[in-house]
Amino acid sequence: MRTAGLAALTLATLLGAAACGGSSTAGAPNTTSAAPKKPCTVDDVQVSGAFGSKPTITIPDTCTPPTQQLSKDLTPGTGAAVKAGDAVATYYDLETWSNKQEVDSSWAHQPFQPFTVQPVGQAQVIQGWNDGLVGLKQGGRRLLIIPPDKGYGPAGNGPVGPNETLVFVVDAVTVTPAG
């Protein structure tokens, strides 16, 4: 996404991790036996907040991350629908599944302005965005749950660790048709 924003978030994440303590249960006997968790659905992830405002994302602990990309229109939008080749100006918020922490947000960038993706389908963004923005209408808000193979994969990227499932809320501010 935005290199400067990710670099700043990487530094903040590393500093925050260094300040946090933790305890290890390695080697401790497992005294509980729980049934295996089922994969989450798009409806298991909760999002509050209206289009154009910073969302609040709640990722559940009761299920595992899905292995397929999932999407759900939270606000349907009334304008033009994004098609491959179009440009779309977006606001977005990104949380990682494993630690349920925000790692990037257009609302955090100053000056606050939309992030433009173009041409959709071949843009220099993760494949989950190139695939997941198609069909989103101007004025719409979409939840995207992106598995590692359509995100940053085994390498990760800055504060996003290896093989991380990504949870985005994306607002389509404007859609500009190709051509």
Domains of the chain are: 38-176 (3.10.50.40)
**Res 31 pLDDT > 60:** no
| Residue 122: its H or E element | none
What's the confidence (pLDDT) of residue 148? 98
Average pLDDT over residues 82-104: 97
User: Is omega for the bond preceding 111 within 30 degrees of 0, making it cis?
Assistant: yes
Residue with tokens 């559940």: 60
Could you tell me which residues come within 8 angstroms of residue 166 by beta carbon, excluding any fewer than 6 positions away?
Answer: 94, 95, 96, 97, 126, 128, 144, 145, 146, 151, 152, 160
What's the confidence (pLDDT) of residue 77? 96
Q: Give the C-alpha separation, 65 to 37, whole Å.
A: 10
Q: Give the C-alpha separation, 64 to 46, whole Å.
A: 15
Give the global pTM: 0.80
**Res 114 pLDDT > 60:** yes
Q: Write the single-letter amino acid at 120.
A: V
Look at 13 and 60; give whichever has higher pLDDT. 60
The residues pairing with 57 across neighbouring beta strands, listed in sequence order, are 47
What's the confidence (pLDDT) of residue 33? 58
What's the confidence (pLDDT) of residue 30? 53
Q: Give the C-alpha separation, 121 to 58, whole Å.
A: 28
Under the banding of pLDDT at 50, 70 and 90, the label for residue 21 is very low
The residues pairing with 94 across neighbouring beta strands, listed in sequence order, are 104, 168
